[in-house]
Structure 1
């Protein structure tokens, strides 16, 4: 299933660029042409990331995120730092898309300058750090506010126990998660935006990404128990317009987010994590503002697990899975005729297994399924039988020639080449012609500076 980013073509790109320049000038006296986190800790990308690229984190990478991106080596220089991401991609679907894959693109076999991302990342002080991204896409020619995670973290001891605790300000539920099993970091880690996608997914799986601001507190006790909880709300529409973010409406009340996980070390080479989450937004859709003041209420319950095994420097195996059950009470949509049902349900399940050899050659297998209530008003435009049910799988091969400790131009140049194939056994409620949406996707992802 494709990795989707919600992008709106809202006017006013220059205020966003001005904001980025202010951040760069005000926080960084001198732009250092190096990958931000790698140079800050004076280690290659493979220290934090499985396969040398994110978002899967090694135990060290989890600790780096947990402590607020503040770990530094003595020679790391001024932080935060700026890095640049460039992605060129090719997308082929089994059947041509009528009218073109997107404005300005053909019906099939499209090359795209998919992303140019500027990152501002690293330690601000001994206990405060950040990860912020601004992106441009050829699809729509948009500059937009992308990911933001600003953290304050401290360590504490009580009796024979130790803990790390912190506070994070972020713009996407699950982006702050330590184990990266949520939708913000879920496989496929990078995917096409010029291919068809499923009509529905639980709201915690990206429905409010890049449009909300959340303040959550977290702690990990004895390196095992992890808890996080907080509230999300929409900033003003004026702010969202200035940063080209997503504004689907407004929340009736701040939305609570809860997360718990347990991590166990299985010897020196492997670890296991199991966890759960809860998210409850009450959304008044922008499309119906002025028509109804009632809210569409969502309750998302999720469980997840992840496993990592490292065979020295040569081999790495990871497995991740997440299941989310969503209960919907669509007071607003039902009242204005946008939904046929007052109560709906939606379920999603994703699982993937990944193998890397010498952090250079990678292979991933994934499977996904979404199913839920039929609703003639919600799904009729994209589904022949008013159903959101979609299922299938994906395969991906990766080559990472640069980004390791002994790589050419390390750490200035990092490259990942990916060849991904996604197939559908059911697409938006029907098995008939589901394979028309099968997608072959080739991408070249580069990090510079």
Structure 2
């Protein structure tokens, strides 16, 4: 969830030329002029709470314990009478620099290095619809691709219950991505990095649970929190039509065979100054191959399917007291693959493969205003030269450091809870890329040449 990320984009931002746009954004962020308050984040308006009540660092999406409960209750908690339509918006402008220019431009309309981008312009329907029904639904435009598409969606029905000495919350979520309904920031849909460069090289392969079905499916899951400690969720997902996905996402990755089950279990130890959680994930999916029709559009092909079985474990620690906030998150996912469709079509060397992904991060925030985050990542798996090229290894690993500044969002901030902005500076270092340290592409490029400096201005209104 991203409570204070919510926003309604003003169209004139997209019309600004790049140099003036940067001047305007940075001026707004640092000076805090009233233009930022032209619309209020819908969750903050609904609850009359400052952003730090729900978010670590005064800005989304990393949730506090209160933020987790707000999401579990279906985004329905409110203070006073709510008469406004729960609309909000978000704008992200970014700059990306790689240590060495990329061999080719990462996308149409961009250069091989030093790219500025309107990375996201999102409109949200986000808030309480009735006593037990709430919504988080996002549509996003990106300069990379030039498409206004379907983004995260989470419609909820939630109620509290009690039985004997036990009490809790149960609910139903209609959503478009396994783990988007989760309340922990170890979940793949909400894990760190919360904002990252989309015009820089990334891992060549990751398990399906890490975004492989995002905005490609629709599903229903039932969840329950028991005694403020146990969290359980069980759901199933089906594919959407290729025509619909081409129109809202610009691509179609293949049709799922039947219903894809998803399960989640976690336990939280609530502490006087925070919490500790431990949990696990499961996803079991079959997906067919993609071809093209006479018109050149992507379509699902009949025949065998590829099977992906993902299992993940996660853990988190949160400490918040006075001016200090510390969070530590870890996620490990293992995927077993049986590639009947890919292997049968000559797309892989092996019928059975596997992938593993490990992500660790630790953050410290002072007064929810000044933050630093250290992270490390490893993506690895079976060697398969046809799938991955070079040495046939997807092994990609590195570290990152991010400095963050969130000037607003506290209870005593200027114009709270309406002004929300974060400035972030992130540096990502690659120790290995596609299985190699040197000559990763056969043309002399090294893993360190993909090291990325990334700066963003993130506004929510």
**TM-score normalised according to structure 1 size:** 0.89
Cα distance between partner residues in 2 of 1:285 and 1:304 = 31
What corresponds to 1:71 in structure 2?
A: 77
Offset, 1:354: 0.4
Per the alignment, do residues 246 and 221 of structure 1 end up closer, same or farther by CA in structure 2, a change over 3 Å counting? farther
Residue pairs, 1:140-179, within 5 angstroms? 140-179=145-184
Equivalent residue for 1:295, pick from 274, 284, 305? 305
1:178 Cα offset (Å): 1.7
TM-superposed deviation, 1:291: 5.9
Give the whole-Å Cα distance in 1 for the aligned partners of 2:76 and 2:291: 42
Superposed displacement of residue 339, structure 1: 1.1
- Alignment of 1:37 with 2:43, yes or no, is yes
Between the aligned partners of 2:69 and 2:146, the Cα distance in structure 1 is 37
> Deviation string for 1:267-317 (max 9, x for gaps)?
x102100000100110112248676511100000000000000122x0000
Q: Does 2:57 align with 1:51? A: yes
Report the 3-state secondary structure (helix = DSSP H, G, I; strand = E; otherwise coil) of the residue aligned with 1:187: coil
Q: Distance in 1 between matches of 2:430 and 2:162?
A: 50
C-alpha distance in 2, partners of 1:174/1:290?
25
Paired with 1:146 and 1:410, the residues of 2 have a C-alpha distance of 27
The residue that corresponds to 1:442 in the other structure is 455
Could you say what secondary structure the match of 2:406 adopts? strand
Range with greater deviation from structure 2 (423-432 or 403-412): 403-412
Kindly report the root-mean-square deviation, in angstroms, between the aligned alpha carbons of the 2 structures.
1.4
Do 1:41 and 1:76's aligned partners in 2 also have CA atoms closer than 8 Å? no
1:354-380, Cα deviation, whole Å (9 max, x unpaired): 000001000000000011101121111
Q: Distance in 2 between the 1:64 and 1:158 partners? A: 22
Name structure 1 gaps, 5 residues minimum: 1-31
> 2:289 maps to what in 1?
285
Question: Aligned equivalents of 1:76 and 1:363: distance in 2?
Answer: 36
Residue of structure 2 in register with 1:322 after alignment: 331
Residue 421 of structure 1 is matched in structure 2 by 427
Shift of 1:246: 4.5
Structure 1 residue 254 displacement after superposition: 0.7
Give yes or no for the alignment of 1:233 onto 2:243.
no
The whole-number CA distance in structure 1 between the counterparts of 2:398 and 2:50 is: 35
Structure 1 position 338 matched with structure 2 position 347: yes
Residue segments in structure 2 that go unaligned for 5+ positions in a row: 1-37, 293-298, 439-445
Q: Which residue does the alignment assign to 1:311?
A: 321
The match for 1:210 is 215
Between Structure 1 and Structure 2, how many residues are aligned?
Answer: 411
What SS is found at the alignment partner of 2:215? coil
For the residues of structure 1 that align with 2:216 and 2:424, how far apart are their CA atoms?
Answer: 29
Alignment partners' CA distance in 2, 1:320 and 1:246: 32
8 A Cα contact 2:242 2:300, kept in partner: no
